Amino acid sequence: MKNRYLTILSGVVILSLLAIGGASAFTVNSVDGIWGNIDGVATTSEEYPVDIIGYADNGTLAPLKQDQHYILNSDICSGKQNIDPVWPDTSRWTSSGLTTYTNFGSHTSSCTSASDLFFSEYLYESRRGWFIDQPDYVIIEIANYTGGSVDLGDYDVHLYTGNTTYTEVNLSGTLATNDVYVITTSTNPISNEHYTFNDNEGYRTVVLVKDTGTATEGATCDRWSTGPSGSPVVYSDWDPGIQSPPTTDENRVVYGRDSYGTGYYACELTNFSEQSGFGFDGRDESIQPATLDPFFLGSFFHYNRPVVADSNSFEYVDLTVTVPVVCNDGSAADPPNFTIVPRFNLDETTNSGTCAYGEPGDEPCPDRVTIEFPTMENPTFVCPEGTYTVNILGFTETGQGTDACWESYNDSAVSTEYITQEYEINEACLWARIEQPLADISVAKTCWAFDSQDPYYVITTSNLGPGFARSVTLTDTLPDGVVFESYTSQLTTTSGTINQGTCNVNGQLVECSLGTPLLDYSTDPEAKWVVRINVGFGTGNNIVNTVTVDSITADPYEGNNTDTAECNPNAACMISFDALRAEDGIVLSWETASEVDNLGFNIYRAENPEGEKVRINPTMIPSQNIGSTSGAFYEYLDEDVEIGNTYYYWLETVDFALTTTIYGPITAEY
């Protein structure tokens, strides 16, 4: 059996908070959120359909019928943004004879203030057959009844010959109101066309698209209900058989092309309601939370639909959340509309094979959404009584007891991870709290199995509070005597342990980032960030290693931000060192894994981390298993404590050579 050696030089388990002032009550008014660019990638333009001529056969684009001529009815004042299951729609179009060409170039309409351009006439005449083989006639008319001139440079016409293959016709010039624009094949029976294109037999769908000039392409077919630059959605682009349009207050970001069997729709033919993506609906009612009181921020949605994302998929998107705050004395906070920008990551899994998330039977495979805060300045607002910030606690799917998730805060179910099911509209509640922007983070570095060929370090970061620690990072310069091999980075909360955080390695320098706020002990006593660094032995023999942690949240005490691990083979192999308030004092407990060369223990106490350490045990506490590879469990009661005081404790091990090793500090409040 391999012996494991462990050094803990600062708090392994944090059991109390720094002193916090009295709670303040605030008023939080209606919350709003705007989705940013998917993957943070911005482009100059995006096209979306303003009118479509075409139909679908069992979800696949079917060829338009040849030998047809249709004129838009005079009372129709807008285009369609989705294809018809059967075309033409006789409520919109009237059939006309194939030899009637004189109507092209003019159109009769009762419209005076249409929202955009639309198709007003269409002809497809086949001229290929047994006795004739000439180019087909295709004539398309576009009308402007907006009440003003329109720059055609913002529009294109896409002539589809397949589900994804089309010829693009770039329009140009200016179209006056109450006027029409005609495009046609180069061979045609009319003389008043404005633009001609090469003939291509077998058109399936014709789409008039508009360049918004304000969108992004961070993922395939990305679109917004409200997003960067207020990108709008035309709500007629909805399939009521799937879902209704979002409420006025919900903002949504979506991506991906529709997938129906082996056929695919192109982006401009994909209904917004059939895409996959995120939604956020901020709470509407005013509330009055006190400092550190959780409050319902709004509803989060993951519209998890089967889409084709090509090579450009959805990875993350930032949500700018506006939280209007009024101070306890009734004055507006500075700034009055506080904003935070959490990032929502999506791990979109394959829908078959072994599922990475969810429970057995969750098929197709669920996806995972996680919340993090990118590295940026910690946002704050100021009230007369102090400076504060807002942090998101995480997702909940249920409240307490039988409550819905928005009715009460379920601290046993909150998590920064949300597992979402395929083919469903997944809805969870987001909870937040107002807190002081202070976080006392501490780090413990341990070394394991350095007497074997598989040594590794374990770095544990905790947060004493009083608030969340944001953008937590650690820096570890490995000693020359070891060589980096691999790492794991995990976040543990009362909801469980998940993979969270990344590390970059440059020679002996290891730099890691947690990526999401680290909860304080009062919020979650199990919260910790654990990085394991697997190493191999190099040419040297230096096994002393120092690690430092940092955060953009102000740290009231930085004395515990650094820890040094020295793998002393004669020290007791420690498993834990804890402190817990009891009825008649503070109970110190610790556990060892082996005590091969250990003689005994001493306990030291101070009333602040920098204070004088005083030994509180009259005589050395003897080792229970001297010379043994087996460990033991110990308890010691500190009765000399006063109510309301906070104490810091250190544990000292003493080996046969009277060499000592110190573990701690840990802290407890009586």
More confident residue, 659 or 402: 402
Q: Is it the case that residue 212 has pLDDT exceeding 80?
A: no
Contacts 24+ apart (CB under 8 A), 599-602: 599/623, 599/626, 599/654, 599/655, 599/656, 599/658, 600/653, 600/654, 601/572, 601/634, 601/651, 601/652, 601/653, 601/654, 602/651, 602/652, 602/654
pLDDT in tens, 435-448: 888 888 888 777 66
Q: Is it the case that residue 476 has pLDDT exceeding 50?
A: yes
User: Tell me, what's the pLDDT at 176?
Assistant: 94
User: For 131, which DSSP code?
Assistant: S
More confident residue, 509 or 6: 509
| Cα–Cα distance measured from residue 314 to residue 348, given in angstroms and rounded to the nearest whole number | 8
Sign of CA dihedral 157, 161, 166, 169: negative
Q: Which two tokens stand for residue 223?
A: 């679109």
CATH class of 568-670: mainly beta
Q: Among 149-153, 347-351, 559-563, 626-630, which is the least confidently predicted range?
A: 626-630
Domains of the chain, residue spans = 1-20+439-557, 27-43+215-435, 47-211, 568-670
pLDDT in tens, 315-338: 899 999 999 999 988 999 999 999
DSSP string covering 231-269, please?
A: ----TTS--TTT-PPPPTTEEEEEE-EEEETTEE--GGG
User: Tell me, what's the pLDDT at 317?
Assistant: 92
User: Tell me, what's the pLDDT at 201?
Assistant: 60
Neighbours of 290 (CB within 10 A): 14
Burial tier of 58 (Cβ tally within 10 Å: 0-12, 13-18, 19+): exposed
User: Tell me, what's the pLDDT at 337?
Assistant: 92
More confident residue, 181 or 292: 181
Q: Are strands 456-466 and 528-537 parallel, antiparallel or unpaired?
A: antiparallel
Residue 669 CB contacts under 8 Å (≥ 6 apart), including other chains: 15, 16, 17, 581, 644, 645, 646, 647
Q: Do domains 1-20+439-557 and 568-670 have the same CATH topology?
A: yes
User: Tell me, what's the pLDDT at 484?
Assistant: 92
Which residue, among 224, 220, 313, 310, has the nearest Cα to 267 in the 3D structure? 220
Q: Is it the case that residue 659 has pLDDT exceeding 80?
A: no
8 Å CB contact between 325 and 338: yes
How many residues does the structure list for the chain? 670
Quick one: pLDDT band at residue 431, thresholds 50, 70, 90? very high
User: Tell me, what's the pLDDT at 213?
Assistant: 60
More confident residue, 283 or 211: 283
Q: Which two tokens stand for residue 360?
A: 């057995």
Q: Is it the case that residue 295 has pLDDT exceeding 80?
A: yes
Residue 639 CB contacts under 8 Å (≥ 6 apart), including other chains: 584, 585
Burial tier of 415 (Cβ tally within 10 Å: 0-12, 13-18, 19+): buried
Mean pLDDT of all residues in 13-40? 66
Q: Does domain 1-20+439-557 have CATH number 2.60.40.1170?
A: yes
Mean pLDDT of the chain: 82
Residue 313 CB contacts under 8 Å (≥ 6 apart), including other chains: 219, 220, 255, 348
User: Tell me, what's the pLDDT at 573?
Assistant: 63
pLDDT in tens, 382-396: 998 888 989 899 999
pLDDT in tens, 138-181: 899 999 999 999 999 999 999 888 777 788 899 999 999 999 99
User: Tell me, what's the pLDDT at 291?
Assistant: 86
8 Å CB contact between 314 and 409: no
Neighbours of 235 (CB within 10 A): 13
Looking at the DSSP bridge assignments, the partners of residue 307 are 258
Residue 311 CB contacts under 8 Å (≥ 6 apart), including other chains: none
Q: Is it the case that residue 230 has pLDDT exceeding 80?
A: no
8 Å CB contact between 458 and 448: yes
Quick one: pLDDT band at residue 3, thresholds 50, 70, 90? very low
Residue 607 CB contacts under 8 Å (≥ 6 apart), including other chains: 645, 646, 647, 648
More confident residue, 587 or 374: 587
More confident residue, 203 or 234: 203
User: Tell me, what's the pLDDT at 55?
Assistant: 83
